[in-house]
Each structure stands twice: as structure tokens, then as C-alpha cells.
């Protein structure tokens, strides 16, 4: 029997990248999947491909609390439960913090932090009533290492990680679990799309690049066993923690990593422009 046979999984940011990979893998393992993102066309296309009998597309702007409520209500109405919530949707705008439009700063906070907190808060009563359930929050190694030109993004991912750990303690012995998946750079449009790649700091490319499928595998493993946190690459996670705990080490590492990142980024830029 598959690990998620008959389970209901809600995934935000499901129209592409890690979210889409998660959707495909959960369906392969017998889950019923509720797909959430802003693009109705992309969601409907994915739902049709995976099978409308086991999926439901719910176009959602997760920065809107009312739409978050509607998303979970639709999941319960259609499938009767919420067994796994994957808070995957993310937003970023790069550049010096003081130069970012205030509206964009607030939007990053709304998508990366407010929405996962709101959706978790809305899902927990159902999961408590069921006596089981898992929330998997997609954080980032940028939440463990202060990243220049991505201050707001780093801050939201740091906060999401700490929020997850704190609520996990509150849920001890309830059967409901909170997990975090913290990836380094992932080869998706979030980083390597031609429209954004020029703005991505070279240091991002100094770490090994994961695929969306690799991170989705970590999400499913976390949903299955409730592990507190998984990171990929594992060594990059340790390096990020060291750089955060020992600022002097960060100052030593940064120039070396940036030089490597410039070389690697050049290859990805060339690929993006083919």
C-alpha cells in the first residue's frame, strides 16, 4: 500500500517547480491532491493530466486570508479531510532592501510568512479533530544564512522555520506534526528563469543546485515520517549554520563563495539564453 493512499494533500504554489513535482509524486502514491496557485490555466492543465478524479484545482491568492479559507473549505468539501498541508508558494524580489518598493516588501512577507501561518492556523483544528495530520513548510537555507540583496526573503524564511519549530512543540502528543524542508538553490524558474537570473546574487550559485524532484522527495519523506527538518544539500546546511553562528567565518567564506558563484552563474546564464 502506498504511503499516502486515500490521504488528502493541499499544496500551494502547485502550478510549477517544487509544488508541481510534489503534486505528481503524491498522486503516484495514492493521494488526493488539492492544487493551489494563482494561475487557473496552469492548475487546470495539471489537474487534467494527473486525473480530475484525484485532484482539484483551486485558484488562490494566498496573500488573501479569505482565499486561504476558501482553499481549505474546498479541500474538505471535496475530499473530507486535510491530511497534509504543503506550504510551498514563495515570492522574492532581489536588490538592496532600501531600494525595494514598500508594497513589494509587504507582498514577500504576505506570501512567504503570513500565508503559511494563516493556512496552518486554519488547518490545525481539522487535523486535531482527525487526530493526525502533517504541515510541511518549505523554508530555505537563505533562512539560515543572512543573504545580501535578499534581506526580506531571508527574514521570512528564518521566521517560517522558527514558527514551525515552535508550533511543533505546541503539538506534542497530538498526532499532528510540523516539518520544515530547507533547500539551497533549486533549478526552477525562481532562480534560473531568464527573466530573473541576472538579479540572482552569484553566491547563490556557489552551492550545489538541486532539482525540483529532489526537493519534492524530501517533502514526501517529511510528510511520511514527520521529521523536524530536512536540508539539501546537507553540507550547505551545516555551512549556512556555521556562517550564521560565527559572523567572522562568514566574512572569510563570502569572497571565496562569490568567486565560485560568478563562475557557475555564467554557465546558467548561458543556458538560460540559448
225 assigned to some structural domain = yes
Q: Which domain holds residue 246?
A: 8-272
Does a structural domain hold residue 266? yes
Domain with 261 in it: what CATH number?
3.40.50.720
Q: Is residue 119 part of a domain?
A: yes
If one counts the domains in the chain, the total is: 1
Dump the DSSP string for the chain. --TTTT-EEEEESTTSHHHHHHHHHHHHTT-EEEEEES-HHHHHHHHHHH-TTTEEEEE--TTSHHHHHHHHHHHHHHHS---EEEE-------S-GGGS-HHHHHHHHIIIIIHHHHHHHHHHHHHHHHT-EEEEEE--GGGSS--TT-HHHHHHHHHHHHHHHHHHHHTTTTTEEEEEEEES-BSSHHHHSTTTGGGS-GGGGGSPPBPHHHHHHHHHHHHHH--SEEEESHHHHHHHHHHHH-HHHHHHHHHHHHHHHHHHHHHHHHHHT-
Compute the distance between CA of residue 99 and CA of residue 197 in angstroms, rounded to an integer: 19
Question: Which cell goes with 96?
Answer: 538592496
Q: Which of 153, 158, 190, 205 is catalytic?
A: 153
Output Rg (C-alpha) for the chain, integer angstroms. Answer: 18
The yes-or-no answer on residue 268 being catalytic is no
Prediction pTM value: 0.93
Q: What is the mean pLDDT of residues 207-232?
A: 96
| pLDDT tens-place string over residues 129-140 | 999 999 999 999
Residue 2 lies in a domain: no
Residue 261 included in any domain: yes
pLDDT at residue number 245: 66
In a domain, 3, yes or no: no
Assigned domain for 109 exists: yes
Please determine, for residue 143, whether its predicted confidence score (pLDDT) is greater than 70.
yes
Cell numbers linked to 211? 532539482
pLDDT tens-place string over residues 89-109: 999 999 999 999 999 999 999
The pLDDT, as a whole number, for residue 253 is 74
Instruction: Find the range with the poorest average confidence among 24-28, 51-55, 68-72, 195-199.
Output: 195-199
Assess if residue 67 is contained within a domain: yes
Query: Would you state the pLDDT for residue 204?
Result: 87
Amino acid at each position: 500500500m502506498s504511503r499516502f493512499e486515500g490521504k488528502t494533500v493541499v499544496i500551494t504554489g502547485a502550478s510549477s517547480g517544487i509544488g508541481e513535482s510534489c503534486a505528481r509524486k503524491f498522486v503516484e502514491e495514492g493521494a488526493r491532491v488539492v492544487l493551489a496557485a494563482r494561475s487557473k490555466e496552469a492548475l487546470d492543465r495539471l489537474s487534467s493530466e494527473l486525473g480530475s478524479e484525484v485532484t482539484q484545482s483551486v485558484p488562490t491568492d494566498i496573500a488573501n486570508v479569505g482565499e486561504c479559507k476558501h482553499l481549505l473549505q474546498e479541500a474538505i468539501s471535496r475530499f473530507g479531510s486535510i491530511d497534509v498541508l504543503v506550504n510551498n508558494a514563495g515570492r522574492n524580489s532581489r536588490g538592496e532592501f532600501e531600494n525595494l518598493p514598500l508594497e513589494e516588501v509587504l507582498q514577500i512577507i504576505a506570501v512567504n510568512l503570513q500565508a503559511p501561518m494563516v493556512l496552518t492556523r486554519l488547518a490545525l483544528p481539522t487535523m486535531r479533530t482527525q487526530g493526525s495530520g502533517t504541515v510541511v513548510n518549505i523554508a530555505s537555507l537563505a533562512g539560515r544564512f543572512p543573504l545580501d540583496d535578499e534581506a526580506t526573503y531571508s527574514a521570512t524564511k528564518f521566521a517560517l522555520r522558527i514558527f514551525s519549530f515552535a508550533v511543533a512543540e505546541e503539538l506534542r502528543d497530538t498526532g499532528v506534526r510540523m516539518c520544515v524542508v530547507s533547500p539551497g538553490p533549486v533549478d526552477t524558474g525562481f532562480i534560473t528563469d531568464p527573466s530573473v537570473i541576472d538579479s540572482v546574487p552569484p553566491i547563490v550559485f556557489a552551492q550545489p543546485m538541486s532539482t525540483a524532484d529532489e526537493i519534492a522527495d524530501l517533502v514526501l519523506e517529511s510528510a511520511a515520517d514527520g521529521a523536524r527538518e530536512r536540508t539539501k544539500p546537507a553540507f550547505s546546511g551545516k555551512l549556512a549554520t556555521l556562517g550564521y553562528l560565527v559572523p567572522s567565518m562568514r566574512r572569510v567564506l563570502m569572497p571565496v563563495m562569490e568567486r565560485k558563484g560568478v563562475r557557475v552563474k555564467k554557465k546558467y546564464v548561458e543556458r538560460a539564453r540559448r
